[in-house]
């Protein structure tokens, strides 16, 4: 049977505990950490919607109810905003709920970033789908996922987003791809080395953050043996996928990567986007210049 070349659904794994941000994440999901006045996960959803997908499957856990509430219709809040004549705020909270069709699945199974992908199996069915993490995002024009979908529609092969890591010492934080060129910003993956020694990294192209995967990934994960820490890892499933078909990397054009799962990178993101915020940029810029650092 010929595989569909249309991506209709996206999966956002959002069930992790966010231990790097404890105690803040004891009661608040890391995906809900604010970037000025929007949570991280809203940036991810907006990228998906801007790429033409409106069916979004969120893999959550018992401690992630605030994510569901954020993308729901807040009747009492809307009524209070309406009574107070705050039409701008009312329109914004309504827009958030109207952006997409949200489907929530509670994560079951062992730890590891392959498990939430498998949890989406019954919703995804027998069709290709996108995966984007809920605690990081990329600004790009066109959106990162749209660039990846264009590559998938042309080649019909699984696609991973790729970003060049300019600082050599940072290569040890990512999955680094050994690749061969296909065309332009498209490369074929030969292998992915997870968190390599910077001196032995096969390139400076990090292949991570967003994926377009075929349904064949599900039985691979189901039969995957636990890896590091006794967990199921998506890079190891992709290694198995490479044995049966080509996997491509789309190097994202005009990309700015925000790793909001890291404390320092999160603070940098808040400051950078705060400087771009129309209501804050002037005062924030003046405040930063006033600091005697």
Beta strands in the chain (DSSP E): 9-13, 34-35, 38-39, 55-60, 101-106, 129-132, 137-139, 159-164, 175-183, 186-194, 205-213, 248-251, 256-258
**Distance of alpha carbon 12 from alpha carbon 10, whole angstroms:** 7
Instruction: Give me the number of domains the chain comprises.
Output: 2
Residues 97 and 139 in one domain: yes
Residues 23 and 153 in one domain: yes
Residues 215 and 281 in one domain: no
- The domain in which residue 273 lies consists of 263-293
- Which residues contact residue 78 at a Cβ distance below 8 angstroms, ignoring those fewer than 6 apart? 90, 93, 94
Task: Say how far apart CA 233 and CA 239 lie, in whole Å.
Answer: 10
Digit-by-digit pLDDT tens for the chain (293 residues) are 455 668 999 999 998 888 888 898 888 999 999 999 999 999 999 999 999 999 999 999 888 899 999 999 888 898 999 999 999 999 998 999 899 999 999 998 778 888 999 999 999 999 999 999 988 888 999 999 999 999 999 999 999 999 888 888 888 878 888 889 999 999 999 888 877 888 888 888 888 889 999 999 999 999 988 877 777 888 889 989 999 999 999 999 988 888 888 899 999 999 999 999 999 989 999 999 999 87
CATH number of the domain where residue 139 is located:
3.90.550.10
Give the separation between CA 211 and CA 205, rounded to whole angstroms.
Answer: 15
198 falls within a domain: no
């Amino acid at each position: 049977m010929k595989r569909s070349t249309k991506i209709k659904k996206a999966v956002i794994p959002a069930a992790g505990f966010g231990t790097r941000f404890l105690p803040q994440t004891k009661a608040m999901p890391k995906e809900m950490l604010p970037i000025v006045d929007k949570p991280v996960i809203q940036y991810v959803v907006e990228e998906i919607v801007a790429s033409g997908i409106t069916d979004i499957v969120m893999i959550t856990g018992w401690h992630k109810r605030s994510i569901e509430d954020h993308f729901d219709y807040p009747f009492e809040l809307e009524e209070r905003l309406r009574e107070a004549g705050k039409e701008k705020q009312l329109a914004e909270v309504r827009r958030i709920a109207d952006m997409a069709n949200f489907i929530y699945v509670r994560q079951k199974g062992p730890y590891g970033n392959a498990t939430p992908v498998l949890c989406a199996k019954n919703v995804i069915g027998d069709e290709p789908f996108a995966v984007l993490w809920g605690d990081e995002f990329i600004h790009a024009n066109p959106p990162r996922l749209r660039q990846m979908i264009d590559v998938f529609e042309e080649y019909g092969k699984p696609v991973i987003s790729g970003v060049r890591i300019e600082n050599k010492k940072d290569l040890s934080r990512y999955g680094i791809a050994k690749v061969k060129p296909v065309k332009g910003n498209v490369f074929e993956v030969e292998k992915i080395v997870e968190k390599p020694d910077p001196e032995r990294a096969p390139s400076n192209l990090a292949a991570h953050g967003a994926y377009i995967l075929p349904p064949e990934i599900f039985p691979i994960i189901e039969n995957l043996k636990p890896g590091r820490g006794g967990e199921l890892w998506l890079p190891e499933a992709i290694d198995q996928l490479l044995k049966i078909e080509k996997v491509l990397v789309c190097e994202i054009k005009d990309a700015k990567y925000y790793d909001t799962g890291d404390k320092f990178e999160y603070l940098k993101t808040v400051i950078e986007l705060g400087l771009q915020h129309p209501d804050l940029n002037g005062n924030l810029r003046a405040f930063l210049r006033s600091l005697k650092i």
